[in-house]
Structure 1
Amino acid sequence: MFNRIHHIAIICSNYELSKDFYVNKLGFAVLAEVYRAERKSWKLDLAVNGIYQIELFSFENPPERPSRPEAQGLRHLAFEVNDVGEVTRVLNEKGIQTEPIRIDEFTGKQFTFFTDPDGLPLEIYEHQ
């Protein structure tokens, strides 16, 4: 379903909820999961299409969205997919709401947005 991504780290507010979203709803494979006791932090490594990796972190009471290395959130993460309409349908069937599909005015490719449990913006973008 998802084709490409570069390494990205996400800090979530509720580790179990975010783990369920990324693993069970989006279908990313778990590569490793460790608890770092000294930081009271979980780290979950997820494979995207067997090639790329997302690191999902938890920290105690992360601040919301200020520009700090260990603040909750990310600006925007786009996944390449072969068929935006089909992936949108699958996401909607799993209870994940998506915005209406749009057309990139510069490339002519389809794309749309949805959010993770913390409201972080995720995008699916048509294969180029």
Structure 2
Amino acid sequence: MIINSIHHIAIICSDYEVSKKFYTEILGLEIIREVYREERESHKLDLALNGNYIIELFSFPDPPERVSRPEAAGLRHLAFGVNDLDKAVKELNSKNVTTETIRIDEFTGKRFTFFSDPDGLPLEFYEK
């Protein structure tokens, strides 16, 4: 199988400060990086468990209730780590799974792409 790990879980919250407190103070996750993306009016909080990066916590102004997309409160997507993104995309496409254009993470420089499960849940392959 081409998947070798779960890379991270992205969550869009409706109240950034309440969620930040919950994940850091109540659950005890460690803050790796916290940024505010002014052009999107969005916070991005990277969290780790035992030194392992596991959650991206986002805020967006007035997120709609979860449908599937666009940016909405609740689970944003599930990301799987892959060693070779081009190979992973080719394999998905050969199985009639449509993938989005490969993008570059503005903070890490790593490549990633999105696709959906049969119910429309956004999934991601993130190159390790």
Report the TM-score when normalising by structure 2: 0.53
Q: Which residue of 1 aligns with 2:42?
A: 41
Instruction: Say if 2:46 and 2:53, in contact at 8 Å, map to a contact too.
Output: no
Q: Answer yes or no: is 1:61 the counterpart of 2:62.
A: yes
Instruction: Say if 2:30 and 2:48, in contact at 8 Å, map to a contact too.
Output: yes
Instruction: Say if 2:12 and 2:72, in contact at 8 Å, map to a contact too.
Output: yes
Report the TM-score when normalising by structure 1: 0.53
Instruction: Say if 1:9 and 1:55, in contact at 8 Å, map to a contact too.
Output: yes
Q: Which amino acid aligns with 2:64?
A: P
Q: Gaps spanning 5+ residues in structure 1: where?
A: 78-128
Instruction: Say if 1:5 and 1:48, in contact at 8 Å, map to a contact too.
Output: no
Question: For 1:5 and 1:26, how far apart are their aligned partners in 2?
Answer: 19
Q: Answer yes or no: is 1:32 the counterpart of 2:33.
A: yes
Q: Answer yes or no: is 1:13 the counterpart of 2:14.
A: yes
Shift of 1:69: 4.0
SS in 2 for 1:7: strand
SS in 2 for 1:20: helix
**How many residues are matched?**
74
Question: For 2:15 and 2:44, how far apart are their aligned partners in 1?
Answer: 13
More strand by share: 2
Misfit runs of 4+, over 2 Å: none
Name the Cα RMSD after superposition.
2.3
Q: Gaps spanning 5+ residues in structure 2: where?
A: 79-128
Shift of 1:42: 0.4
Shift of 1:5: 6.2
